[in-house]
Amino acid sequence: MRQINSNYAIYFNKKYKRTGHLWQGRYKSWYIIKEQYLYDLFRYIEHNPIKAKITQKIGEYPFTLLATILDENREVISCSKHSKLKKEIEYEGIQEHLEMALSEEELNTLEKEKQKKIIQKEHEFRQEKSRTLQEYFDNVMTKNERNLTILKALDDGYKQSEVAKYLNISSAMVSKIFRGVK
């Protein structure tokens, strides 16, 4: 991306006989590990033109993926042809989901997800856990508290087997707790 940005800035500056920076700040990217994070990012991106008062509703701003997907007369650019959003736009409810504005809590969650450190082991990427299992379970007294804490630990990226081993319970029990809430 750095090279693309640099080359485009050179091209643009030559074409319009100007000098200096074209982009503000450095290019940044983040790994998307959780599917919910991806869908919240879709919503965030699609609502930016509305927030900037450029359009009134999602899908109207011509430079978003959703606009190209919804406009049957436009060709979807090649790098977007296999987009997860493009594949799922036909499913009932996805457009309604995108139309919902992000709450303050969801915006805070997006920011927290962005700040989490990513660890790569061979070809697997995962987020660094925010707390140890001991920190999670130190003050847990009741079974209900334990179950809620298990869900928090799983949400933080711990595997069911890791939680089960730490608590000295079966993986099946952790799985049952997980499925019971979902």
The pLDDT tens digits of the residues spanning 54-100 come to: 999 888 888 888 887 777 777 777 777 777 777 777 666 677 878 88
Q: 149 CB contacts (<8 Å, ≥6 apart)? A: 136, 137, 140
* Dihedral angle of Cα 109, 111, 115, 120, to the nearest 10 degrees: 60
pTM of this structure: 0.56
C-alpha closest to that of 71 among 54, 89, 55, 53 = 89
| pLDDT tens by residue, 139-152 | 999 999 999 999 98
- Residue ranges per structural domain of the chain: 1-30, 33-128, 129-182
